[in-house]
Chains A and B, each alone.
Chain A
Amino acid sequence: MIIEKPKIKVENLDLYYGSFQALKKVTISIEEKKITSIIGPSGCGKSTLLRVFNRMNDLVEGIRIEGLVEIDGENIYAKDTNMVALRKKVGMVFQRPNPFPLSIYDNVIYGPRVHGERNRKKLDEIVEKSLRAVLLFDELKDKLDRSALSLSLESQQRLCISRLLAVQPDVILLDEPCSALDPMATLKIEELLQVLKNDYTILIVTHNMQQAARASDNTFYMLLGEMIEYGPTEQVFTNPKDKRTEDYITGRFG
């Protein structure tokens, strides 16, 4: 698939955990302000690939990465990469909502505070804006001092997303963000993503084919660390080009 101005560009990416090669010559361009879903059987390397984009894998012992990964045309694996700026630019949301055991307010301003913001009025603004973006503000505006852990799982996941938005990222990575949520909450998060994609580039890993089909613009199918197929979501789900994609999405492999 040809993408005019990719937000993220990956070329010939090889990733090794020690002697095990988890990603093999992955080449993919991610479209800006679109939702890209990454699908594939367990262990195929989806989370590994996602973590490449904010260099979360760096902490893993024995890891080795070869190939090119660019965001906005900049090689994020260059020696002089500013890691703080990268993590700010590329935020991640996990399977289980993981709010800090702090108040709702303090969760949202956690990032900005770490980045040095102290102005109370500014922080208030950030909280309002970030919670509005995830459609939580009206519900929570009078309860901002309550513990984040008192929220429903769905609201916790929204809060985690707003915590990301507070540091003004460009790219949002979501690793099975709905797997702990019930179907209604799942749909609501998907709706939220549709709103967020106006401003952010979103990558979502999911095991839920219906979710990938419903919620994403482009779909990337991986198998054993390799890219098998990448294309517009409606094409991948109605007329996949590769037999292996067909077998996977129709539930005949996996």
Chain B
Amino acid sequence: MINEGIRATFDQELKELSDQVMAMGITVMEMIKKSMNAFNKSDEKLAQEVIKLDDRVDKYNQDIETKCVQLLATQQPMAKDLRIIASTMRIISDIERMGDYMVDVTKFARRLMGKPKLASAGDVPKMAELVEKMLQETLDAISKKDLELITKVVEDDENVDAALRNMFDTAMLEIEKRPLSAREAIYQLFMARYLERVADHITNVCERVYYMETGELKELHV
């Protein structure tokens, strides 16, 4: 006989865990959005808010990790339950890193505030949009247990890598043509580089989600 709800309390706790991971991911999405707004509008206040949001991400990280350890100790999870908890612990540390990188991105955005915009300034928000979409889709894939979407997100990472390469070339050209704006070009390039790192951590999360669902540890990133 299937005993419906025999582990109802535990199931509820796993659900809450997953909700918290979602909230943590959404917070990073908010950081990406705000950071780009701060950059586009040279808005110092928005930049401050991004940095504040990182504290919230760190708090999620701690709370979720504590919860995971508590569930491991008290529920002795097996099979998928075990994979969910073990993966969650990895996923939150990846999301936590994303938050840190967004702080770095924002710090460079701040340094660029009040300086004349480069012709290539629009490339950064464009890249950020791509990264944000990857994160959004990863969160969707987690809640829908959608492995196809996971694979797609990982493929999108290539586009981010390609964008970074392009931006590198553009920056080089800009520096050669206008050495006086080298500083701005380099700052911008740093922003792109950190965004690219965020995308890498998103693909790590994807691999964990894949493991959670299939029990297979696989390098999805090619």
Q: Which residue of A lies closest to B8 (CB)?
A: A252
Are A238 and B79 touching (Cβ within 8 A)?
A: yes
Are A250 and B79 touching (Cβ within 8 A)?
A: yes
A23 CB–B CB distance under 8 Å: no
* CB<8 Å pairs between A and B, sample of 13: A213-B78, A238-B78, A238-B79, A238-B83, A239-B79, A249-B78, A250-B78, A250-B79, A251-B6, A251-B78, A252-B3, A252-B7, A253-B2
Are A253 and B3 touching (Cβ within 8 A)?
A: yes
Are B81 and A250 touching (Cβ within 8 A)?
A: yes
- The binding surface of chain A is classed by DSSP as helix
Which interface class (under 10, 10 to 19, 20 to 34, 35 or more) fits B? Answer: 10 to 19
CA distance A209 to B81 in the complex (A): 14
**Nearest-CB distance from A207 to chain B (Å)?**
14
Q: Given the complex, which residues of B lie within 8 Å of A254, measured CB to CB?
A: 3, 6
Are A250 and B1 touching (Cβ within 8 A)?
A: no
Q: Given the complex, which residues of A lie within 8 Å of B81, measured CB to CB?
A: 250
Are B7 and A246 touching (Cβ within 8 A)?
A: no
Instruction: Pick the contact of A238: B1, B6, B7, B215 (CB < 8 A).
Output: B215
B183 CB–A CB distance under 8 Å: no
A210 CB–B CB distance under 8 Å: yes
A237 CB–B CB distance under 8 Å: yes
A169 CB–B CB distance under 8 Å: no
Q: Which residue of B lies closest to A251 (CB)?
A: B7
CA distance A92 to B6 in the complex (A): 34
CA distance A224 to B6 in the complex (A): 20
B22 CB–A CB distance under 8 Å: no
CA distance A184 to B214 in the complex (A): 35
Are B83 and A239 touching (Cβ within 8 A)?
A: yes
Are A246 and B76 touching (Cβ within 8 A)?
A: no
A240 CB–B CB distance under 8 Å: yes
CA distance A185 to B24 in the complex (A): 43
Encode A222-254 as 1/0 by CB contact (under 8 A) with B.
Answer: 000000000000000111100001110111111
Q: Which residue of B lies closest to A212 (CB)?
A: B78
Q: Given the complex, which residues of A lie within 8 Å of B2, measured CB to CB?
A: 247, 252-253
CA distance A213 to B2 in the complex (A): 22
B80 CB–A CB distance under 8 Å: yes
B82 CB–A CB distance under 8 Å: yes
Instruction: Given A250-B7, A251-B6, answer yes or no on A240-B79 (Cβ-Cβ < 8 Å).
Output: yes
